[in-house]
Each structure stands twice: as structure tokens, then as C-alpha cells.
Amino acid sequence: MFSWDDIGVFLALYRERTTGRAANARGVSQPTIVRRIAALENDLGLALFERSPTGLMPTDAAHGLYASAQRIERSVCEFTAEVDGLTGAEVNLIRLTFLDHFEQLLIPVLRDFRSRWPRVQTQLLASDHIYDLARGEADIGVRGRDRPTSDELIVRQLPPSGWTIYASAHSSAEERPRAPADVAGHPIALVGGVPATLPVYLWLEEFASSGPPPARCNNYRAIKSLVASGSVLSALPCTIGDGDSDLVRCFPPLEEWDVPIYLIGRRAILRRPPARDLFDSIAAHFDRHPELLMGVR
């Protein structure tokens, strides 16, 4: 009969779609993933995945089982947390995820936390990858845009992220727009993917149809480099633009371009004092210094 580990392998393959990535997610070897999923399919009498040029594709049976497998996963996480609470087990590792330009903002918090909890290791997951806290991929996260609604999470709203238009600091004041209406006619850069739907980029997109063809970038780092070179103007969060000596604001951040920011914690992990202390410390830090996220206005 199958076990929880088999269901964990199924979930990893369903989410990652290759045996290599699933092996990394589970912390096991690739042959182990292949062997365990074959054994699970044999036990169930169902084909769960089909091979394709792009990886493993879930079958209709896999789609049908996914929601139930997720519920089992969450129950296991809750059960483990309850056992830790009853046995007095200490949290000695807290996984903190945030966008990769937030790490400098958190240094004072992490320094003070380490002085209070020297035995607790903080693993920083700074990446554009969205870790799923509800299913236990991380413990505490700082996220933008959409407020999570899962019962497994505790959510606190932080000050919003401020955005404005930046130019090269090496350009003259006469070359820069002084108000939003002045941006028309300047070469601009836009970002692709999900960030393209942020209010400021939707606003910039309006200029793309009437001005020079925009440069298209796949991340904020590429946009920052183009702006610093003096070839384009573009929008960046104040958390990136204000700290770069090669960039200069064209005008102050506008409230209509603000992006909501949320602090998220796994409810089970926040029952433990070190994790709750870190969560509350991050919230208090940004409450005391909203300009870190919003930019000085």
C-alpha cells in the first residue's frame, strides 16, 4: 500500500513536471523518484503521468487526485507542527522568502534577531520564484500584489511599495521629464511577465503606441541597467531605484502606482516563539520605517 512519501513524490512530479526537479524538491535522487512513482501507479492501478517533449504531463487521473493529495500534505504539515509543539521541539531553521531586492532592507532585522536567537538559523530564499507557504515550501514571506487567503497562513499588510519613473543620474535635468505628462516622446523600457500588469507599467504601455518602440526586458535588473546607461526611462520600485547612485527620480512616487505588500507566515510555524519573534520584528521594522517601501514623499 502507498505511503505519505509516495503522495509527496506524486505532488512534486505534478508541480515540477520533470523527475530531476521533483528529486531536488524532495531531496532525493532521480532514480528514487522514478521508482516511487512507478510503484504508486502500480498500487493504484492508474497511469498518473505521460511523457512529452517538455516533460511529464499529468493524466486526467492525476488531475482528479491532486486536490485530495494537497489536503493530505497540509494535514501532515499541521500534524508535524502539533507534535513539535507537544514535545517542545525547537525551531532551529526558519525559511524566509522575499523578492531578491529586499535583502538589504531586512539586514537590521536579521542582525537583531540573531542576537536574540543565536541558535536559530535563518535561510534566505531571495528569488523571483514564488514559494508556496501554504504547502510548506517556506515559513515566512514578504509578497506583493495579491493578499493570500489560505487558512494555513497569517497575513499582515505592510506599507505599500512605491513606484516612480527613473532616469540616468548622468543625464541633465533638462533631459528628464518633470511630470508624468512629460514622459511622452521619451524612449522607455517595459518589463514582461506578471509585472507587466502592475499599474505603472500599464500606464507606460500607453506611450508605447505613440512613441518610439519600447525596449522589452525580462526583469528589473535589466531595466535598471538600461536606465543607468541613459538609453531609456522606466518605472522601478523605490526599493530598487532610490538606492542606486546611477539612477535618479524624474518626479516623486504617485499613490495610484502603489503596490500592496504583505507579510505572510505559516500559522503552524508561528506558534513557535523564534518564528513569531521574526515575523513581528519584520512587521514592526516596516511600520517604523514605511519610507523603506514607499520611498520618501
98: nearest Cα among 122, 114, 117: 122
The residue extents of the domains of the chain are 4-87, 93-161+259-294, 163-257
Entry pTM: 0.69
Cα separation, 214 vs 152, whole angstroms: 42
**Using 50, 70 and 90 to split pLDDT, how confident is the model at 115?**
very high
**Top-confidence residue, 129 or 85:** 129
Residue type (1 letter), 65 = L
Do the bridges between strand 259-266 and strand 153-161 make them parallel or antiparallel, or are there none, so unpaired? antiparallel
Task: Give per-residue burial for 150-159: e unless 16+ CB within 10 Å, then b.
Answer: eebbbeeebb
**Tell me, what's the pLDDT at 58?**
93
4-87 maps to CATH 1.10.10.10: yes
Any idea which fold 163-257 has? D-Maltodextrin-Binding Protein; domain 2 (3.40.190)
User: What cell does 151 get?
Assistant: 487558512
Give long-range contacts, CB 8 A cutoff, 24+ apart: 29-37: 33/9, 36/5, 36/6, 36/9, 37/6, 37/9, 37/10, 37/13
Does the pLDDT at position 91 exceed 70?
A: no
Residue 157 has pLDDT above 80, yes or no: yes
pLDDT (0 to 100) of residue 263: 96
Q: Report d(CA 197, CA 250) in Å as an integer.
A: 22
Could you tell me what percent of the chain has a pLDDT over 90? 55
Supply the pLDDT for residue 132.
85
Residue 72 has pLDDT above 60, yes or no: yes
The answer to whether 263 touches 80, Cβ cutoff 8 Å, is no
pLDDT of residue 87: 67
pLDDT at 229 (0 to 100): 95
Residue, of 101 and 168, whose pLDDT is higher: 168
| pLDDT at residue 81, rounded to an integer | 64
**Residues 130, 139: Cα–Cα separation, whole Å:** 13
Q: What are 143-154's pLDDT values in tens digits?
A: 988 898 888 899
Torsion 288-240-107-148 (CA) sign: positive
Evaluate if residue 90 carries a pLDDT over 60: no
Collapsed DSSP state (helix, strand, coil) of residue 58: strand
Fold agreement (93-161+259-294, 163-257): yes
Q: Which residues of 96-119 are buried (b: 16+ CB within 10 A; e: fewer)?
A: bbbbebbeebbeebbeebeeebee
For residue 16, the model assigns a pLDDT of 84
Instruction: Return the CATH number of 93-161+259-294, one of 3.40.50.2020, 3.20.20.100, 3.40.190.10, 1.10.8.50.
Output: 3.40.190.10
pLDDT value for 167? 97
pLDDT tens digits, 208-258: 777 778 999 988 889 999 999 999 999 999 999 998 999 999 999 999 999
Distance CA(65)–CA(59), nearest Å, equals 10
Give the dihedral sign, CA 202/208/209/213.
negative
